[in-house]
Amino acid sequence: MNGEHASDFHIRTAHAGDLDALVEFNTALARETEGRRLEHELLRDGVASVLSDAAKGLYMVMEHRPTDRVIGQLMITFEWSDWRNRVFWWLQSVYVHKDWRRRGVCKTLYGHVVREAERRGNVAGIRLYVEQDNRIAQTVYGRLGLSPPPYRVFEKDFVLPAREGE
């Protein structure tokens, strides 16, 4: 971390006590990256569902130790690959509090996830999707060593409304 000591930070799996911070970060993420306003209770229930059921995924958070404040998050969900006989970890809901951006938080969280995936030995790789117009995030992910695969994602969304302005 720029100008900080590594001992000032801690990465851990999120727990129920992190619910409010995760909801706050996801609300900001949707607004900043996609211009979406998420329905608060639906989001809160969705985050709580992940926190209570590891089969759905898990959140990793980075804390600033002197304050015990969560400053960054990412969620890992799982996709089985029959071709590889292993699971892909999908990174979702990647967010760093605005006061901590450009200080290595995302890079450190990502590095932790890569090391954990390699340690487990049953992970085929790490994937994420990024809003096509979010050039800042694309630049960050490229610097981390991620590259766009030769696939396009298609979807039919039954829950979220269209983005503001559409």
Convert the pLDDT of each residue in 43-102 to its tens digit. Answer: 999 999 999 999 999 999 999 988 889 999 999 999 999 999 999 999 999 999 999 999
**Apex 33 CA angle, 74 and 77, nearest 5:** 30
| Res. 166 pLDDT band, cuts 50 70 90 | low
CATH 3.40.630.30 given to domain 6-143:
yes
C-alpha 166/C-alpha 158 separation (Å) is 16
**Quick check: 136 pLDDT over 80?**
yes
For the chain, what are the domain ranges?
6-143
Residues contacting 7, CB < 8 A, separation 6+: 65
**Which band of pLDDT confidence, cut at 50, 70 and 90, is reported for residue 148?**
confident
